[in-house]
Amino acid sequence: MGVKVVKFGGSSLADANQFKKVAAIIKSDDKRRYVVPSAPGKRFSEDIKVTDMLYKCAEQAGSGIDFSETFGMIKDRYNGIISELGIDMSLDDEFDSIESELKSRPAKDFAASRGEYLNGKVLASYLGFEFVDAADVIIFDTKGMLLLEETVKAVREKLSGLPNAVIPGFYGRTTEGYVKTFSRGGSDVTGSIIANAVKAEIYENWTDVSGFLVTDPRIVEDPDVISLITYRELRELSYMGATVLHEEAIFPVRSAGIPINIKNTNKPEDKGTMIVSDDYDFSTEASYTITGIAGRKGFSTINIEKAMMNSETGFGMKVLKALSDNGISFEHMPSGIDTMSITVDSAKLEPVREKVLAQIRRDVNPDHLEIEDGIALLAIVGRRMKNTRGTVARIFAALAHARINVKMIDQGSSELNVIIGVSEHDLNEAIRRIYDMFINSEKQ
Ligand code: ADP
Ligand code: ASP
Ligand code: MG
């Protein structure tokens, strides 16, 4: 019998009622044998995620501030779920040991990981499944890089012979024995690794929306669901801010040819989004010209002007060296005869800003050099764009109509995406206009 690995996000496990939905989903299919939970998320929009409260505890503990009030709120969340579900268990010993660990060594990753750890304990008990501590199977090197081979081996050893298990998401341990987390949203990555290790027939990622949507539902009201998307398209969209799936969650399943199905815990009957291999045969599927739109704020562009720079050997290399010498990678670098504009992450640039400018001035002696902050990047992604003429013209028309100034444009060599730079304050409107141009108008 095939195996399905199922990951449930924070909102899917935010309270006892959500736990009941999750249990019903798992119990309705015997193949759903391995379950990866997140920590309890928000129950309503102003609520605080358990993970955020845990980060706060670590911060308070690190500064010698009493964190018992914050920790008390966390205990209440779990105790509320346990009592409402009527499970015969207590987390009191766990709470005590976490509290004393945080007092003696307030490590951020350890603190944050306890959200998933405790939720895993509760869910395992509720389902009657074995609890497998992710610290025993998800292994990082001392620099914090995942050791995939060791991890897969450990997962297989641990899970072989277990008909069912709950493995908390988001964390593992380093070879030195310290708890280490993935970056935020990392339970998706754990699920993907487990799916790879057990050779799952499918990785189901259960969340609070009915699949991957054409764009962020907080920007466009009720956007269309993308029923089929390739790994490559998804990666482009995730990287650019479509946060529904952690971008690092793609590699482990993609390499093993395992499809991902994004599903809605609150509407399990909806088909959701199926993420399929890049060579999937779409010939019988109807789809829009574009697959999705995503945007991210927090970029700066370094604009350089120098007459005839394109004929100066080594110009670009010297500019890029100024970045790499200061530990900065770049996102995009369109250039003209006399101009070059490099888009970088503002937060990474900030501490070395003056050093980078000084080095560029020294090494290439530009006529003009400036940094523009407050840039947002917008990705318009779609496998069909390659064979459809006029896509870029339509994007420009949509933005021009709204008087949105395009600061940068870059079309990837794969022609899978077009990246546009706009002012941060224009981002949401730009997304709405492009959505109208490609989705609403093609629908009619
Ligand atoms: P989980 O807690 O289940 O991991 P996340 O909050 O990480 O869920 O991801 C789901 C959320 O991602 C949705 O509630 C939605 O607000 C947001 N989101 C942003 N872009 C998209 C998109 N293109 N499609 C679907 N959801 C998106
Ligand atoms: N709980 C973690 C976070 O809030 C990980 C996750 O939800 O995937 O980022
Ligand atoms: Mg998530």
Give the integer Cα–Cα distance in Å for 174 and 170: 13
Q: Which of 253, 258, 273 is nearest to 209 (CA)?
A: 273
* Full strand arrangement of the beta sheet holding 292-305: 339-345, 292-305, 368-381, 417-423, 408-411
User: Probe ligand 2: pick from 36, 170, 244, max atoms within 8 Å of CB?
Assistant: 170
The protein residue whose alpha carbon is closest to atom 6 in ligand 2 is: 185
Rounded Cα distance between 324 and 333, Å, is: 14
Mean pLDDT of 380-402: 91
Q: Hey, which residues does 230 pair with through a beta bridge?
A: 276
Greatest mean pLDDT among 206-215, 285-294, 327-336:
206-215
Q: What pLDDT, on the 0 to 100 scale, is given for residue 140?
A: 98
Ligand 1 site, residue 72, Cβ cutoff 6 A: no
Specify the range with the lowest mean pLDDT, choosing from 183-187, 206-210, 244-248, 366-370.
244-248
Nearest residue to 191 via CA among 209, 203, 179: 203
Average pLDDT, the chain: 95
Residues forming beta bridges with residue 332, ordered by sequence position: 343
Cα separations in angstroms, 257 against 35, 128, 184, 231, 371: 20, 31, 25, 10, 43
Give the model's pLDDT for residue 413. 74
From the CA of 36, the nearest ligand is 2
Measured in whole angstroms, the distance separating CA 91 from the mean position of its chain's CA atoms is 30
9 within ligand 1 shell (Cβ under 6 A): yes
185 CA: nearest ligand 1 atom: 7
Place of tokens 């959505």: 435
The per-residue pLDDT for range 134-184, each reduced to its tens digit, is 999 999 999 999 999 999 999 999 999 899 999 999 999 999 999 999 999
CA of 333 to the centre of ligand 2 (A): 33
Ligand 2 centroid from CA 402, angstroms: 36
Which uninterrupted H or E stretch holds 408?
A: strand 408-411
Pocket of ligand 2 (CB under 6 A): 9-10, 38-39, 49, 51, 115, 169-170, 184-188
Q: Is the CB of 185 under 6 A from ligand 1?
A: yes
Q: Is the C-beta atom of 171 inside 6 A of ligand 1?
A: no
Instruction: Note the pLDDT tens digit of each residue in 191-230.
Output: 999 999 999 999 999 999 999 999 999 999 999 999 999 9
| pLDDT for the residue numbered 166 | 98
The predicted model gives 327-355 an average pLDDT of 94
DSSP, collapsed to helix, strand or coil, labels residue 44 as coil
Virtual torsion, Cα 47, 94, 96, 113, nearest 10 deg: -50
Helix, strand, or coil here: 226?
Answer: coil
| Nearest ligand 2 atom to alpha carbon 184 | 9
The predicted model scores a pTM of: 0.88
For a pLDDT cut of 90, what percent of the chain falls above it? 87
Joined tokens for residue 158: 């641990």
402-426 average pLDDT score? 91
- SS3 call for 151: helix
Mutate to test the pocket of ligand 1, among 35, 212, 244, 246 (most ligand atoms within 8 A of CB): 244
Take atom 10 of ligand 1 and give the residue whose Cα is closest.
244
Instruction: Give the residue from 135, 316, 291, 176 showing the smallest Cα distance to 228.
Output: 291
Q: Which of 84, 166, 85, 169 is nearest to 131 (CA)?
A: 166
pLDDT value, residue 42: 98
Pick from 33-47, 148-162, 267-281, 402-416: least confident:
402-416
Nearest-angstrom CA–CA distance, 258 and 203 = 7
